[in-house]
Structure formats: structure tokens, C-alpha cells
Homo-oligomer: A and B are copies of this chain.
Amino acid sequence: MDSEKKISPAVINRLPRYYRYLGDLLESDITRISSKELSAKMNITASQIRQDLNNFGGFGQQGYGYNVEYLYNEIKKILGLDRLYNMIVVGGGNIGQALVNYTNFEKRGFVIKAVFDINPRLIGMTIRGVEVYDVDQMEAYVKNNRVDVAILTLPRSQAVKVANDLAKWGVKGMWNFSHVDLQVPDDVLVENVHLTDSLMTLLYKINEMYYSGEDMHEHQLKDGLPVKPLKENEEE
């Protein structure tokens, strides 16, 4: 909230995790917690917890610790979770539909208002009450309704152009599931969810731990399907 000093990305990325742990504590009717106790639960140093929280203000009290409910609500405010967000899904494929069906977003105030796609078979359908529109109608929709976040779940070939258009039309944030880096103006925020990258990172670690040093190719045809040649994969 305070735009005094710049908060480091590393800290911001940890905030949701603090929020989750505090929510859990709240559910367990724990009213206070010290950085040391939280440190043990979360597996990070107490020092880091204190330093992270102090970026946003002194929420604790010496000799007492942190009041769980108070801190929970403060982080909620810091993350901006005390308001509603209007979102649209662009690309009504597997992931897009899964996100629309994920009811917990709405419980938290992240409301998916519409889905846009080019597939005639999808257009006109409703997914959990959310209508699927033709992308042709997207410009009008975005210009006439506040859209905080566009969830991009479309083929990479289209993602860049769509993101650009949406930015131009006033969408503030992009939650990007398309496997491509978007190029948008500085005042448009982008958060990437590159699933394939994430999986590859896991595979690297598995290889490092289990197959390090081996000749990889001996596994190639070991079992399962043969690897199909990698062609243009548009759905990524």
C-alpha cells in the first residue's frame, strides 16, 4: 500500500504463502504466534519472516509476537484481497475451462465475468454460468466493463497480439498461461504461469538426482510410447 520504498519481488512472492499459513492458524484458533514458531512451521528463518513483514509495517509486538488475526488481515489488505476483481478468460480450451470451473476463485473475490474464444462450438455455451463469447465482441466488452485481469489460455501464436490489444483497451493485468513472453506496456502487469517450464524444472532435478552420469539415451525406448517428433505445437 505504501508506495514509499520499493518492495523486492522475492518478498512479494512470499506474501501469499504467509497469508495461507496465517489462514490455517486462524482456522486452528491460534491467536498469537512468534516469528520463531512460524519459522519452524514454514521452514524459513525467523529473521526472514520479521524482515519480510517489516517491509510493510511493524505488525508485531516485542515479548508477544504477532496477533494472527490482525496480521492475516493486514496481509490481506497488502495483497489487495479486500476488494473484488473482474476477470475474463481468453481461450476456452482445457485450462481456460478448468479455471472457470474452479469455484474457489469466486469465494475469494476473483470473479470470472466472461470467456472469449474463436471456436463456434464453444461460443454461446455457458460454463458454470459464465457465457462464452466470440472474440469479436471482446473489444466492446473490455471497453465497457472494468476488466482487472485477463487470463490468457490461448495458443502462443495468438497470445502476443491479443495481449497487446487487451492492454490497449485498458486491461490492467494479464495472467498468462500461454507459453510465450508477452510484450506489453509498462503499466500493464503480467504474471506468467508457464506450466511446461515448471515441469521441465522438475524433470531436471529428477535427472540430476537419479540419472546423473548415465547415458540418457538408454532410456529412450525403454517403455511407453515412442517420442513423436516435435512439430509446431500451437496449443502451447
Binding site for B on A (CB under 8 A): 1-3, 12-13, 15-17, 19-20, 23, 27, 42-43, 77-86, 94-95, 97-99, 101-111, 113, 146, 148-149, 172-173, 175, 179, 181, 187, 189-191, 193-213, 216-217, 219-220, 222-225, 227-228, 230-233, 235-236
Known contacts A16-B201, A94-B97; 7 additional CB pairs below 8 A are A3-B208, A79-B203, A82-B220, A106-B225, A173-B203, A175-B198, A193-B195
| Interchain CB contact under 8 A, B94 and A211 | no
| Interchain CB contact under 8 A, A189 and B217 | no
Task: Name A23's closest neighbour in chain B (CB-CB).
Answer: B230
Q: Which residues of B contact A179 (CB under 8 A)?
A: 20
Contacts A/B (CB < 8 Å), 11 sampled: A1-B207, A12-B204, A17-B181, A20-B179, A82-B216, A85-B206, A95-B98, A95-B102, A104-B233, A107-B231, A149-B202
| Interchain CB contact under 8 A, B13 and A201 | yes
| Interchain CB contact under 8 A, B98 and A223 | no
In the assembled complex, the Cα of A15 lies from the Cα of B201 at a distance in Å of: 8
| Interchain CB contact under 8 A, A111 and B224 | yes
In the assembled complex, the Cα of A94 lies from the Cα of B173 at a distance in Å of: 24
Task: Please give me the 9 A-B residue pairs with the lowest Cβ-Cβ distance, nearest first.
Answer: A80-B207, A16-B197, A191-B202, A94-B98, A98-B98, A83-B219, A16-B200, A189-B205, A94-B101
> A109 with B193: in contact, given A84-B222, A101-B94, A148-B206 (CB under 8 Å)?
no
| Interchain CB contact under 8 A, A84 and B224 | yes
Q: Which residues of B contact A15 (CB under 8 A)?
A: 200-201, 204
CB distance from A216 to the nearest CB of B (A): 5
CB distance from A3 to the nearest CB of B (A): 5
> A219 with B84: in contact, given A16-B197, A213-B3 (CB under 8 Å)?
yes
